[in-house]
């Protein structure tokens, strides 16, 4: 039988050759924007329109205490909830990468928002004017968390059912929260909506740094 000799002569016995594993390149600094909204309002379309990868889905299986943390004992059973989350990314340059996370806007998913908004630049709340109340929990949450957010009315088929002023009135958001319309199918439209989110984030960051 003809065995081929071990190709790498450097590997002898148990000695480990340095640089055996390729050294990974330095990772980029990640920044993230949340895309929130009810089912079917166009979150995945929004993420997909701007992302350089087709939106990936991750299943989050998170636990939550069904009772308060101060109450251990037999009643402190943990339950799990599964949700699917879409995300995409945009490489800004070799050292900076923007991630977009699409998350359901219903309040029953709020348990994972604490985690999600940590370090987030801001949020784009996608609104379908036919089901405007779907986004109430997300708006409430971001408002109280102090996360910069923008309300983006998705104009399905280029049609805007209501005036933006009416949407603002219905949502009762603060005056400094931008309410805009965009088309989730078009990259340039999504980009412009995200730029408004970034503008809000910039204001917050400057305010924080000047303190």
Q: Which of 31, 145, 160, 180 binds other proteins (CB under 8 A)?
A: 31
Q: Which of 11, 40, 81, 130 binds other proteins (CB under 8 A)?
A: 81
Judged by CB under 8 A, the stretch of 35-43, 50-58, 153-161, 176-184 that binds other proteins is 50-58
Q: Are 178 and 150 in contact (CB under 8 A)?
A: yes
Token readout for 199 is: 């503008």
Q: How far apart are CA 47 and CA 87, in angstroms?
A: 7
- Measured from the CB of residue 120, what is the shortest distance to other proteins in angstroms? 9
- Measured from the CB of residue 63, what is the shortest distance to other proteins in angstroms? 5
Q: How far apart are CA 153 and CA 183, in angstroms?
A: 8
Q: Which of 10, 11, 63, 131 binds other proteins (CB under 8 A)?
A: 63
- Measured from the CB of residue 203, what is the shortest distance to other proteins in angstroms? 9
**Does the protein bind other proteins through residue 60 (CB under 8 A)?**
yes
Q: How far apart are CA 135 and CA 126, in angstroms?
A: 8
Question: Under rule CB under 8 A, which residues in 82-101 are in contact with other proteins?
Answer: 82, 85, 87, 89-90, 92-93, 96, 98-99, 101
Q: Do the bridges between strand 96-104 and strand 179-182 make them parallel or antiparallel, or are there none, so unpaired?
A: unpaired
Size of the site for other proteins (CB under 8 A): 73
User: In the complex with other proteins, which residue's Cβ is closer, 3 or 143?
Assistant: 143
**Does the protein bind other proteins through residue 130 (CB under 8 A)?**
no
**Does the protein bind other proteins through residue 15 (CB under 8 A)?**
no
Q: Which of 47, 116, 150, 153 binds other proteins (CB under 8 A)?
A: 116
User: In the complex with other proteins, which residue's Cβ is closer, 2 or 115?
Assistant: 115
Question: Under rule CB under 8 A, which residues in 165-194 are in contact with other proteins?
Answer: 169-172, 187-188, 191, 194
- Measured from the CB of residue 4, what is the shortest distance to other proteins in angstroms? 22
User: In the complex with other proteins, which residue's Cβ is closer, 7 or 119?
Assistant: 119
Q: For residue 160, how many other CB atoms are within 10 A of its CB?
A: 14
**Does the protein bind other proteins through residue 164 (CB under 8 A)?**
no
């Amino acid at each position: 039988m003809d065995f081929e000799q071990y190709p790498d002569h450097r590997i002898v016995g148990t000695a480990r050759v340095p640089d055996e594993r390729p050294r990974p390149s330095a990772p980029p600094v990640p920044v993230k924007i949340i895309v929130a909204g009810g089912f079917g309002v166009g979150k995945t379309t929004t993420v997909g329109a701007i992302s350089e990868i087709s939106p990936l889905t991750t299943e989050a299986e998170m636990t939550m205490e069904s009772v308060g943390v101060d109450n251990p004992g037999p009643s402190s059973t943990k339950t799990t909830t599964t949700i699917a989350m879409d995300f995409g990314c945009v490489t800004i340059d070799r050292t900076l990468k923007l991630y977009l996370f699409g998350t359901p806007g219903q309040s029953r998913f709020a348990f994972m928002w604490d985690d999600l908004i940590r370090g987030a630049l801001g949020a784009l709340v996608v609104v379908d004017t036919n089901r405007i109340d779907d986004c109430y929990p997300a708006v409430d949450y971001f408002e109280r968390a102090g996360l910069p957010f923008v309300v983006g009315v998705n104009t399905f088929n280029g049609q805007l059912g209501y005036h933006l002023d009416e949407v603002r009135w219905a949502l009762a958001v603060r005056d400094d929260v931008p309410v805009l319309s965009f088309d989730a199918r078009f990259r340039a439209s999504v980009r412009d909506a995200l730029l408004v989110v970034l503008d809000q984030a910039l204001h917050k960051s400057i305010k924080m740094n000047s303190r």
